[in-house]
């Protein structure tokens, strides 16, 4: 049975370090592409103001990139400590994309970033532009491999449990790479990063314009930001629809919890625009429903149902009962690997083995579980309804706000009056933190929605935690928080310093 305090501390540790790390990732993704766009304009027009812009925003990108690498390295430390059993269980699959990402981040990207900063006077315009685009592409591909690993945790394809090694082992790298959950997460997350980068550039440009400083750079930067940001914000909404569809295919309970939908609705299911989830009584009060919307997003049809929590719990109960013979057979194989009857039983029920493992929270041997314990384990498959319901709606509301803000800015830029609308500039300035908040809420939805699983349907989170002293996890949690907070403060101070210095013209540009 599990140690609840160790589990909770381990989850908090990973959640906090991941949230800190994701403060840096979206801005890296967005700024890398925006910088490449600005340098492309410089190469095409030869106007030096665009090179000033590229170098200024590129400096801010470099600061943020360095902090992101530092937080990423320390976050992976956990896979060798309190999540070491998880690493052992899935190392063959999870390690492949992370190893590729590590090679890209620490060697390929680092090389090109060095050329970006130190190659201005050593490379031709076209060569340097190629380097800048390779930095942008490399940054995005790094995110791809991380999200492939994360997507596999939510839809474990291309792998098979080996009872002889007690590990998940890779059977198809292609299935892991082209996992539909991973691909939809990638495009959705990257688009959110583009929104973050666009808002960062727009907000800082708005501050320059309001202060009457660096107007040539600020006006052009704002125009690029609202154009790129509008396209990115629209993409987030469209790709969010794809994420909803894939989630309903592979994580039905996550969708039901996000909607606080306790019972299956007639097809096509409505979207709950507002409601007050009541987890204790398992109902939702004061619902305001928009007909058809959830059904169209989640099933892309008008006649397929979106299952409710009660119905999904009943399915989980059936799978727990089905998984008990698999667990019993697995124990028999650990005693006698040549037991062909036990191996056949395990193969027949292997798809439900993970559900039987949920009972380990209450009994050491699932075969001895009572009906009440089975029912309790089935209800454990319901994630935190309140967290998911409100996090998702706040995220969606901010997404539509971003579309409205960037559309407003695009209309003003088309009329060449963006710098004269101080109301717009103030809204843009004070909207600076919102993309980060929306991105963090997105991760809350993704990770809370996956609970109680470390690997969906395969490995419960409480079993993924390594049995180490709780005090060690508590100390490392405090250490991580102090370390990450220090890095975040340094990042903000450096960004603030270089933003206040502003872009400065580069001497001798006419020769390049």
- pLDDT of 425-441, one tens digit each? 999 999 999 999 999 89
- Read off the pLDDT of each residue in 399-412 and give the average, rounded to a whole number: 96
Query: Percent of the chain having pLDDT more than 90?
Result: 60
Contacts by 283-292, CB closer than 8 A, 24 or more apart: 284/260, 292/268
Helix or strand holding residue 374 (H, E): helix 371-379
- Read off the pLDDT of each residue in 237-254 and give the average, rounded to a whole number: 87
pLDDT digits (tens, 9 = 90+) for 322-372: 999 999 999 999 999 999 999 999 999 999 999 999 999 999 999 999 999
Token digits for 229? 């940001």
**pLDDT over 90 at 244, yes or no:** no
For residues 101 and 474, the model is more confident at 474
pLDDT reported for residue 3 = 64
pLDDT reported for residue 510 = 35
Arithmetic mean of pLDDT over the chain:
89
CB neighbours of 305 closer than 8 A, spacing ≥ 6?
264, 265, 266, 267, 269, 295, 299
**pLDDT over 90 at 242, yes or no:** no
- Read off the pLDDT of each residue in 463-481 and give the average, rounded to a whole number: 83
pLDDT reported for residue 512 = 34
Q: Are strands 271-278 and 283-290 parallel, antiparallel or unpaired?
A: antiparallel
- Read off the pLDDT of each residue in 391-401 and give the average, rounded to a whole number: 95
| Neighbouring-strand partners of residue 159 | 170
CA atoms within 13 A on the CB side of 166: 11
pLDDT digits (tens, 9 = 90+) for 52-93: 999 999 999 999 888 887 777 777 777 767 787 888 888 778
């Amino acid at each position: 049975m599990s140690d609840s305090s160790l589990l909770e501390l381990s989850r908090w540790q990973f959640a906090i370090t991941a949230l800190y790390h994701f403060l840096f990732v979206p801005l890296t993704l967005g700024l890398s592409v925006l910088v490449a766009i600005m340098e492309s304009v410089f190469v095409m027009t030869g106007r030096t103001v665009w090179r000033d812009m590229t170098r200024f925003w590129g400096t801010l990108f470099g600061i943020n990139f360095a902090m992101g690498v530092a937080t990423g390295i320390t976050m992976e430390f956990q896979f060798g400590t309190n999540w070491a059993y998880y690493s052992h269980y899935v190392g063959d699959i999870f390690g492949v994309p992370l190893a590729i990402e590590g090679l890209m981040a620490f060697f390929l990207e680092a090389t090109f970033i060095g050329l970006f900063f130190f190659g201005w006077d050593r490379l031709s315009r076209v060569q340097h532009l190629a380097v800048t685009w390779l930095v942008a592409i490399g940054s995005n591909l790094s995110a791809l491999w991380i999200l492939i690993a994360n997507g596999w945790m939510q839809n474990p394809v291309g792998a098979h449990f080996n009872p002889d090694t007690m590990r998940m082992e890779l059977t198809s790298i292609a299935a892991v790479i082209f996992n539909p959950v991973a691909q939809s997460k990638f495009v959705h997350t990257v688009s959110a990063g583009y929104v973050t980068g666009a808002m960062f550039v727009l907000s800082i440009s708005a501050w320059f314009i309001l202060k009457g400083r660096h107007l040539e750079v600020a006006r052009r930067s704002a125009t690029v930001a609202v154009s790129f940001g509008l396209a990115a914000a629209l993409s987030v909404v469209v790709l969010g629809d794809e994420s909803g569809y894939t989630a309903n295919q592979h994580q039905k309970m996550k969708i039901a919890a996000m909607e606080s939908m306790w019972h299956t609705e007639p097809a096509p299911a409505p979207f709950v625009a507002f409601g007050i989830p009541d987890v204790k009584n398992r109902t939702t009060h004061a619902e305001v429903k928009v007909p058809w919307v959830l059904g169209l997003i989640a099933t892309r049809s008008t006649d397929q149902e979106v299952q409710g929590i009660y119905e999904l719990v009943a399915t989980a109960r059936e799978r727990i009962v089905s998984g008990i013979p698999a667990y019993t057979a697995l124990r028999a194989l650990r005693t006698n690997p040549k037991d062909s009857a036990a191996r056949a039983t395990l193969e027949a029920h292997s798809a439900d083995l993970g559900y039987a493992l949920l009972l380990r929270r209450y009994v050491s041997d699932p075969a001895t579980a009572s009906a009440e314990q089975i029912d309790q384990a089935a209800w454990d498959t319901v994630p935190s309804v309140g967290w998911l319901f409100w996090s998702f709606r706040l995220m969606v509301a901010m997404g539509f706000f971003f579309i409205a803000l960037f559309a407003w800015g695009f209309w003003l830029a088309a009329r060449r009056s963006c710098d004269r609308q101080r109301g717009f500039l103030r809204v843009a300035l004070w909207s600076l933190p919102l993309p980060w908040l929306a991105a963090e809420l997105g991760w809350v939805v993704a990770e809370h929605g996956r609970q109680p699983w470390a690997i969906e349907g395969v490995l419960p989170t409480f079993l993924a935690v390594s049995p180490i002293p709780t005090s060690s996890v508590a100390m490392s949690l405090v250490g991580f928080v102090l370390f990450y907070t220090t890095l975040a403060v340094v990042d903000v101070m450096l960004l603030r310093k270089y933003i206040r210095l502003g872009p400065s013209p580069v001497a001798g540009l006419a020769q390049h």
